[in-house]
Amino acid sequence: MTDDATIRQAHGENPIAAVRKAHHEQLLLCDRLEEIADSLPDSVNKQKCLYAARALGPMIRSGHRFEEDVVFPLISGQLEGDEKIKATLNRLRFEHCEDECFAEELTEALHALAEGAEDINIEATGYMLRGFFEAMRRHIAFENEFLLSKEALVAADNLRLAPGH
Ligand SMILES: [Fe+2]
């Protein structure tokens, strides 16, 4: 097996394509969360809340790890010495961290909705849901523009074609 084939097998596909796919799934989840926020307080679908509660943490964490372990190093390798890129990647890492924390709180709130908990603060839950999916959409829009730019695509191609990787 060639090294190139090893990389393809390890990641399954071009890393940029993998990020696009992960972003697409995350945006679909944002749409589900918006539907839940819109359904408050009287039309909540408990099954939808349960599904979102289960999907949220794992989807967010695996998407972030892939970006940080595979895609960010590709970009910083390609654009080495560019301080602005370094600062931008640090900011994106920080946003990942914040969103993961936020996702944990939201998972608990979604479980409470799914269980029909009596003491749930509907207003705070709606606010939390909207804050989360709005931040996620902004983050993804920025990454689409920044990570999936021409430079990033070139970097991904270089990785796949470079000997010795
Ligand atoms: Fe990200």
Q: What is the pLDDT of residue 112?
A: 96
CA 58 to chain centre: 10
Could you report the average pLDDT of every consecutive run of 10 residues in the chain (165 residues)?
43 78 96 98 95 97 95 80 84 96 96 93 96 97 81 57 46
Token pair belonging to 150: 């021409």
Give the domain ranges of the chain. 3-161
Q: What is the pLDDT of residue 76?
A: 81
- Which own/partner contact pairs does 146-155 have at CB distance under 8 Å and 24+ positions apart? 146/88, 147/16, 147/19, 147/67, 147/71, 147/75, 148/16, 148/19, 148/20, 151/75, 151/78, 151/79, 152/16, 152/71, 152/74, 152/75, 152/78, 153/16, 154/78, 155/74, 155/75, 155/77, 155/78, 155/79
The answer to whether 146 touches 66, Cβ cutoff 8 Å, is no
Measured in Å, residue 35 CA sits from the centre of ligand 1 at: 23
Fold of 3-161: Four Helix Bundle (Hemerythrin (Met), subunit A) (1.20.120)
The answer to whether 46 touches 113, Cβ cutoff 8 Å, is yes
Measured in Å, residue 50 CA sits from the centre of ligand 1 at: 24
Measured in Å, residue 6 CA sits from the centre of ligand 1 at: 25
Q: What is the pLDDT of residue 156?
A: 54
